[in-house]
Structure 1
Amino acid sequence: MTATTGAAATSVDIAHLTQVRASDPGAFARAWATRSRRPLLGDDGRMLLVAADHPARGALGVRDRAMAMGSRSDLLERLVTALARPDVDGVLATPDILDDLVLMGALEDKVVIGSMNRGGLQGAVYELDDRLTGYTPDEIARRGLDGGKTLTRIALEDPGSVATLEATARAVDELGAHGLMAMVEPFWSQRRDDKVVNLLDPDSTIKSISVAAGLGASSAHTWLKLPVVDDLERVMDATTMPTVLLGGDPQGDPHDTYAAWGRSLDIPQVRGLVVGRALLYPPDGDVAAAVDIAAELVHGGSA
């Protein structure tokens, strides 16, 4: 299925990107150095970011399509379509994807958040020992990104979690030293039948928030990235930190998902959405329409 804009598909010149990588790798540094930047938040204090850091963890599936994100040309087309829509504030992704996008000119005047820990590959025995194998805080600052994101899964029975906690705390400290956002995505997790499962009940989410909020020597630059769970107002009362809500793996009727997002945006701590698969791979393939709905929820008033 090809992404659409409601009219024609967006074209990505993969051959050109590969040629630049082979013959002129310095072009990426030049593109980052000359990129036009914007404030982190607009006048309404909210943001809508498109997420595309899933492939670097080996997580390529969307709904019943196990390899949906396996085509880089298709993924880039969807991202370029999404970023071109009005009121899309930016993107969260890994270095490989962001380097392609900056070279294509798709990141001008956009918020850009770099994904940092991708070492906990989906399904691996070491999944919860989630090393910082993506962006470093220094590189995020050097390239002129606006912040870094960590996935911080906390499983009391898995010793790998403590390494992830330590790495997250270090990332919070180093990003804060650069004056940059540290976006922490915490989950209270368990292993069930050799699979990592994130617990999405309110009390488990509150526990994850409480641990994540205490990581690092200062919380001044910490934001949270949280799932939409039941009793969200009580859950959000666990923190004063600005929070963006994640879209997750899309299931069921998209309209139910949009309605849940809209209700959640009324909570004061919630400052927007960071959504990947639900917007980039909508059931009807119309990326522009899905993104426009989310943008209206974030910037045009909640449903």
Structure 2
Amino acid sequence: MTIIDDQRWLGLLETRATDPEAIGRALATRSSRPLLAADGSTFIIAIDHPARGMVGVSGQPFVMADRRDVLERTMTALADPGVDGVMATPDILDDLALLGALDGKVAIGSINRGGLMGSAWELDDQLTAHTPEAIVEQGLDGGKMLLRIDMADKRSRHTIESCAEWITELAASKKMAMLEPLPYMTSADGRAVLDTHDDALVRCVGIANALGATSAYTWLKLPATAQVERVMAATSLPGLILGGTPGPDPETAFDEWRRAMAVANVRGLVVGRSLLYPPDGDVATAVAIAADIVHPSLPVSGTGRDATS
């Protein structure tokens, strides 16, 4: 069944053009919920990739360039009661609010999307989306920051300082700061590339722990590496496991997430493209499998998951 039929899509476009204040009203009146479900875990759908120019998945270079399709896939995921919320840029959260898809869900704003992949300034990753002030004003539940650290690239210094400021501002309003620290290095041809060594990630976690005037509201968003237990042992902060780049074998990712969820301070998943664009195209099934990893005690009825979390 089509989630966004022509009438609903055209209505969204009409509201966008004629009643911009409707976005503020929709955000102000949405029903909220706690970050953690009753079982102490949370499952967040991530959809802030297009803002960084990342619109391709698995050999389809522009598959995420269709906004209506992106919204339908995201809303399909949010319809699963095992999905607790969404993390996205203002444009997408605004659309979802107008479509009523944020009611009863956690909504996390994405802050720094300016470090465009492949750009000359990639690691100078500054605020281009939600501000901490806007997150508070719009009644969102927190803000996500990407912190890529290359010890040989002085542009990382600016992002470190900015993330520390944003964490402090969010904490002052008792809003969650979701920080994604990742080690980077410069390739021989001058490109910024992810450093996949666990040693480097452990060092990044140590840096991330101490950012901001308080760590009371800081959560870390981290990959499920081969040494995820060691990585999480480097912090007492709650952790959320990211989805990463979609691969041809989703079962491998599911197994990695299951293993990570067994670590004491891992509290859930923040996954986007891996679930919204599965190899077989079945978003609902992929999301249901991931939801069962996060919330294994959530009952499943003959017609789908029971909304008991």
The verdict on a shared fold, with TM-score over 0.5 as the criterion, is yes
Partner amino acid, structure 1, of 2:39: D
Q: 2:122 aligns with which of 122, 127, 150?
A: 127
Which residue is equivalent to 2:3? Answer: 10
Which residue is equivalent to 2:72? Answer: 77
1:87 aligned onto 2:82? yes
Q: Give the Cα–Cα distance (whole angstroms) in 2 for the partners of residues 45 and 132 of structure 1.
A: 31
Structure 2 matches for 1:144-223, cutoff 5 A? Answer: 144-192=139-187, 193-223=189-219
1:283 aligned onto 2:308? no
Q: Give the Cα–Cα distance (whole angstroms) in 2 for the partners of residues 99 and 209 of structure 1.
A: 32
Alpha-carbon RMSD across the aligned residues, in angstroms, is 1.2
The DSSP-based 3-state class of the residue aligned with 1:289 is helix
Which residue is equivalent to 1:143? Answer: 138
Return 195-204 or 90-99, whichever deviates more.
195-204
Q: Give the Cα–Cα distance (whole angstroms) in 1 for the partners of residues 56 and 205 of structure 2.
A: 27
Q: 2:261 aligns with which of 234, 251, 265?
A: 265
Partner amino acid, structure 2, of 1:108: D
Please state how far the C-alpha of 1:300 moved relative to its aligned partner: 0.4
Query: What TM-score do you get using the length of structure 1 for normalisation?
Result: 0.95
Q: Give the Cα–Cα distance (whole angstroms) in 2 for the partners of residues 117 and 128 of structure 1.
A: 11
The DSSP-based 3-state class of the residue aligned with 1:69 is helix
Partner amino acid, structure 2, of 1:150: M
Contact 2:248–2:279 (Cα < 8 Å) also in 1? no
Partner amino acid, structure 2, of 1:276: G
Which residue is equivalent to 1:227? Answer: 223
1:150-198 CA distance string (max 9 Å, x none): 0000011112111110110011000000000000000110121232211
The DSSP-based 3-state class of the residue aligned with 1:295 is helix
Which residue is equivalent to 1:240? Answer: 236
Instruction: For structure 2, list consecutive stretches of 5 or more residues without a partner in the other structure.
Output: 298-309
Please state how far the C-alpha of 1:60 moved relative to its aligned partner: 1.1
1:295 aligned onto 2:291? yes
1:263-294 CA distance string (max 9 Å, x none): 11000110000000000000111100000000
Partner amino acid, structure 2, of 1:9: T
The DSSP-based 3-state class of the residue aligned with 1:117 is coil
Q: Give the Cα–Cα distance (whole angstroms) in 2 for the partners of residues 194 and 285 of structure 1.
A: 36
Q: 2:106 aligns with which of 95, 99, 111?
A: 111
Contact 1:189–1:199 (Cα < 8 Å) also in 2? yes
Query: What TM-score do you get using the length of structure 2 for normalisation?
Result: 0.93
Contact 1:201–1:230 (Cα < 8 Å) also in 2? no
Percent of aligned pairs with the same amino acid: 52
Q: Give the Cα–Cα distance (whole angstroms) in 1 for the partners of residues 75 and 192 of structure 2.
A: 32
